[in-house]
Structure 1
Amino acid sequence: MSPLPPLKALQAFDALGRTGSLALAATDLGVTPGAISQQLRKLEEAVKARLVEHDGRGLRLTPLGATYHAQIRQGFAAFTEAAAVLREADADVIVLSCLTTVLGKWIGRRMRDWTDLAADARISLVGSDTEPDLSQGAADLRIYYGGRHHPPHRTELFVDHIVPVCAPSLIDGHRLTGPDDILRFPLLHIAWDPRFGANPGWAEWGRLIGTRPPPANLTYGLSGSAIDAAIAGQGFVLGQLAFIGPELEAGQLVIPFDLRLPLPDPYYLAWNPDSLRKPGARAFHRWLLGEGRAQGLVSAHRLDSSGCSETMER
């Protein structure tokens, strides 16, 4: 099989065929007329045929060149059409950006509910701890934490709570008579990124029960990693309710004493208004708000000693 001619040579030939002038072809491609001539020579060498000739005023296509150009033009038209199709397809994708753990431990787990409602909507989920510039199209929607970042279009999604949880195997065979018994086990700490402010940790939870906890045995930079460590039986973690629901239902984690602390800030949903014009975007936006409201109710309620639901104070 003969090798394909160089793309730049084909572009120069196509420009000459479209414009009918060496100078106009050079202007069209933003190069010099000499560069166009050089690429035309390379093309003739590659195809081993005479495609252009001098007519006394400049270059023109030979009859064989005109036939070849008609085919080349179809190819470049196909490139243009393919690019348009790609742009159109990309324009329909709704990009949701989230903090890494929010994506992995919360909204990513709920997406099956959304796809059951709107199977045709095209969603791209991006986990990033860097806040995207929604106004520049870096994402269409963003779930973020805390009030230090203020996009112009945003609303509160939910306030989460933390509670001590562990793997059942960690406390198997141990009798826990009160919340302070938790502090006899290894404690896992989550060190938040400073830009999110201070997160409540074991010291704050200790004040809730009127005691001073010992230093944590292990520290993790991501909530998701600390939760996974607790599932593996490495210790107790102050897990966010939004991130541990399936593990609690499956019995991978247990809450010996349901004493919760609210996070100091809510999670927010921000969006680019122009993005809501995408197919399904407004419905997806409403669905996210509904999921946030539902999570806020779950995180703010616990079972009291009688088994009834009881609202926690914020």
Structure 2
Amino acid sequence: MPNANEPKLISGNANRPLAAAIARRMSMHRGLNVDLVDARVERFNDGEIFVEVFENVRGEDMFVIQPTSNPANDNLMELMIISDALRRSSAARITAVIPYFGYARQDRRTKARTPISAKLAANLLTEAGIERILTMDLHAAQIQGFFDIPVDNLYAAPIFALDIEHHFRGELGQITVVSPDVGGVARARELAQRIGSGLAIVDKRRVRPGEVAEMTVIGDVEGQTCVIVDDLCDTAGTLCKAAEVLTENGANEVHAYISHGVFSGPAIERISNSRLKTVVITDSIQPTQAVQATQNIRIVPTAPLFAQAIMNIWQGTSVSSLFAHETLAPIYEGMYALNG
């Protein structure tokens, strides 16, 4: 049943520009002014996090917007402490909006005596009083099962499909979607089906974590515009090497669509000097000045998607409807005319 009160948004410090953009989009939807709840989230001199909420939230449907990106531990603690403050202030329901869920790559035991940190993070968030999770492109779909509360996992693929149709108008017949590894084939196939393109795979062999020894292209990319799709890019080693291998196999151009631009260490320098013509990321992680200044990196907004998902959760309507092109396209109507 729809809530009688208006939904209320509160943000941590991880990505305040995205939180503000979501509030603006919700204001447009509601025809009412939706502001972020007035609060302070700061640190004492010893690094401890302190939260104070300056507005009454008793009986309210609260949405806490906070990706757990770098610094992952600080942002995760911020999210939990904000949730605890809201719970102790008698909020009716607390939904964590986590555009990027950190620790997601630690979703299984890869060797003896190692943790499953994604499960631990799920337990901590639940114990902090969070009753629902809204996130995007979890690194592994089974992470939804780590939570004993509802998890809505949105997908960037529908947004990417709209962006590709706009920027490659008239050239869709020459596009091949590429998975940078065997594990990402399902993600690449979904995008390929959305835009009606072919599919190829770059098979990689690692000698050690973060270092690729050999890559082989499975599929014909001769004369094609290749679009690599992946859920995240960390140091960009695999991504840049894949672009090089695809070019050597006859690809005319190589572009990449990445849900989460983590961009650690040498990532920006590698992308700047790579064969990649463009790297398109979302704003799930707040882009640094270096990312914004890199000429071949472009950012697509997620605020329209998250704003509508929050509205659907608040109203008790379907979130999965946002996976459909006919539902998402009107939400982004005019967006690409402005961006492109």
How high is the TM-score relative to the length of structure 1? 0.28
More strand by share: 2
More helix by share: 1
Between structure 1 and structure 2, the one with the greater Rg is 1
Higher relative contact order (CA 8 A, sep 6+): 1
